Amino acid sequence: MSTSHGRAVIRVRRQLWSTPWLLAAPGLLIVGAFSLYPFLSTIYNSFTDRRTLLPGHFVGLANYRELLHDDMFWIGLRNSALYVVVVVPALVVLPLLLAMLVQRQIPGIAFFRSAFYTPVVASIVVVGLIWVWMLDDRGLINSVLQALGGGKVNFLGDQWLLLFSAMAVTVWKGLGYYMIIYLAALANVPRELHEAAAVDGAGAIRRFFTVTMPAVRSTMVLVGALSSVAAFKVFSEVYLMAGPNGGPAGEDTTLVMLIERTGTGLSGRVGYASALSVVVFVVVVALMLLVLRADRKEDA
């Protein structure tokens, strides 16, 4: 009797152990097939000379050594880093100010919240084409400038104007997304803190720095981390505005654009593009760690 009881207990324990794994198996298979395998494959290919239609041979660190002497790599790294430096502060501060503006319960505020969020749900291709039309030599913005007596501005022909125009599109499209995140954080800020600060004579600006910002600091860190990763991996905005070659002489190429241009096509250098992808991954992880470390220092 005791033996059969022990076997039953063992059987139940095995079922309790295996059931969670059976339930998680479909999700694990999907993650493995579409995330883990491509990631490991990219790392392996970065050490080979593989091309699109040809199997690769192991070449060690040759691709990474080539990166150090590739001018386009340094141009792409410079542009991607500049994108982070300009876009991230804007996407940390401006959505917070916008959220503070639309959090007030006044008639018609729901319309403005929806209007500010509309660019988020719009296709980036549609958004990019609209802005290309607006910034073209014969586009809306240049037409307005000429009507006011000014001259044309070569937004899409000058490498720096094109890059900063793409940054403006990124900020414009991301404002509504991060605004929603800030609205959720602002809803948890006790109104009593603002009232107490107002009683002490603090004005709106002082209350912003002494009450609002400390209360939503963790959310600002989150927004900074998310926007840093997105900004460094930017592709669509610059690609749509500059074209596949990266604008004038390829000077507007970002790292992700360089990966696409190098690794695609019938003779694409998959091995070299994989090495570029690994570099992007390492930089993105480093950005995340820097943001988290800065947050921990402020907590200390």
Domain boundaries, the chain: 62-299
For residues 106 and 95, the answer to whether their CB atoms sit within 8 Å is no
Domain at 62-299, CATH class: mainly alpha
Q: pLDDT band for position 197 (50/70/90)? A: confident
Predicted local confidence at residue 110, as pLDDT? 78
d(CA 188, CA 140): 42
| The one-letter amino acid at 21 | W
Q: Tokens standing for 153?
A: 């501005």
Per residue in 207-247, pLDDT (tens digit) is: 888 888 888 888 898 898 889 989 998 888 888 887 665 56
Tell me, what's the pLDDT at 298?
59
pLDDT in tens, 130-185: 888 888 888 888 888 888 887 788 888 888 888 899 999 999 999 999 999 998 88
pLDDT in tens, 79-107: 999 999 999 999 999 999 898 888 877 77
- Across 280-285, average pLDDT: 91
- Cα separations (Å) of 151 from 154, 213, 291? 10, 42, 42
CA distances from 24 to 17, 34, 140, 147, 155 (A): 12, 16, 53, 63, 51
- Do the Cβ atoms of 175 and 223 come closer than 8 Å? no
Does the pLDDT of residue 49 top 80, yes or no? Answer: yes
On whether the CB atoms of residues 142 and 203 are closer than 8 A, the answer is no
Residue 250 has pLDDT above 90, yes or no: no
| pLDDT for the residue numbered 277 | 93
Most confident by average pLDDT, 2-11, 200-209, 283-292 = 283-292
